[in-house]
Amino acid sequence: MSRGATTAPQTESLVAVSHGTSDPAGQRAINLLVEEIRRAAEVAVHQSFVDVQEPRASTLLRGLSDEEPHAVLVPLLLSRGVHVDQDLTEAAALRTDTRIAPALGPHPSLALVIEHRLVQAGWRRGEPVILAGAGTRLAQGVHDCQQVANLLAGLLGVQVTAAFVAAASPSLGEAVAAARAANPQHRVVVASYLLAPGYFQSLVERCGADLVSDPLLAPEAEVPAELVNLVLERFTAAQA
């Protein structure tokens, strides 16, 4: 190569990896989020999944062209768990120079969106809140959800208790029952800590609480700018 010659810049792609769902409303919500990420990002953005839907992250990585030699998998997942620590790690190993960004949570931006959903649902200032997460067998993932509960408590100025739909304790049902017994005259308020509509959100809505907020990506609502910015923040950090 002659002196002064330069090589073409290598492109780093953002691969947005969500869980996947068979729920049409959940699919629309995630698709809208990815569309907003595409509008805001200055790189190629691809969509993939770890379960239920196609393409899976591993399939998408194998199909990337040589013009996109580097990829960053950005989990559209709220906490660490098997999908981040195992599924995405295995997928990334299939293609060199593939990096994995952290899960979206915990992060103050998520607490801001949850606060907004609670206010929309009719939460009254001073009411304690139960934060309903999906749940994971991974202790660090449970800790992540508890961290978001602490962030939300700081915003709301009330006690926020983390509870889980599955795989972790306390269960959401147990938390609702305990809140009802402790304050039978007060409403039991549950904040959904789920990304999009789907089966888990339907379980949260049937938990027996008096008030349940929408997931972060609420049906028929605009995609929160906080979520888009957080995805790009995770992508940028993983590049460093």
We find that the CATH architecture of domain 12-105+222-239 is 3-Layer(aba) Sandwich (3.40)
Cα 163–Cα 125–Cα 189 angle in degrees, nearest 5: 30
88-126 confidence digits (pLDDT tens) = 989 898 888 899 999 999 999 999 999 999 999 999 999
pTM for the full model? 0.92
The predicted structure's pLDDT at residue 65: 83
Residue 35 C-beta-side C-alpha neighbours within 13 Å: 8
The predicted structure's pLDDT at residue 125: 97
SS3 category, 63? helix
The predicted structure's pLDDT at residue 67: 74
The predicted structure's pLDDT at residue 223: 98
**What are the start-end ranges of the E strands in 105-181?**
129-133, 160-164
- Does the structural domain 108-212 have CATH classification 3.40.50.1400? yes
Instruction: List the 45-49 sheet strands across, edge first.
Output: 45-49, 12-18, 70-75, 98-100
The CATH 3.40.50.1400 domain(s) of the chain lie at 12-105+222-239, 108-212
The predicted structure's pLDDT at residue 2: 31
Amino acid at 126: G
Mean pLDDT of successive 10-residue stretches along the chain, which has 240 residues = 34 91 97 98 95 94 83 94 79 89 96 98 98 91 95 98 93 97 95 97 98 96 97 94
198-208 confidence digits (pLDDT tens) = 999 999 999 99
Q: Which residue do the tokens 């869980």 mark?
A: 19
Neighbour count for residue 234 (Cβ, 10 Å): 21
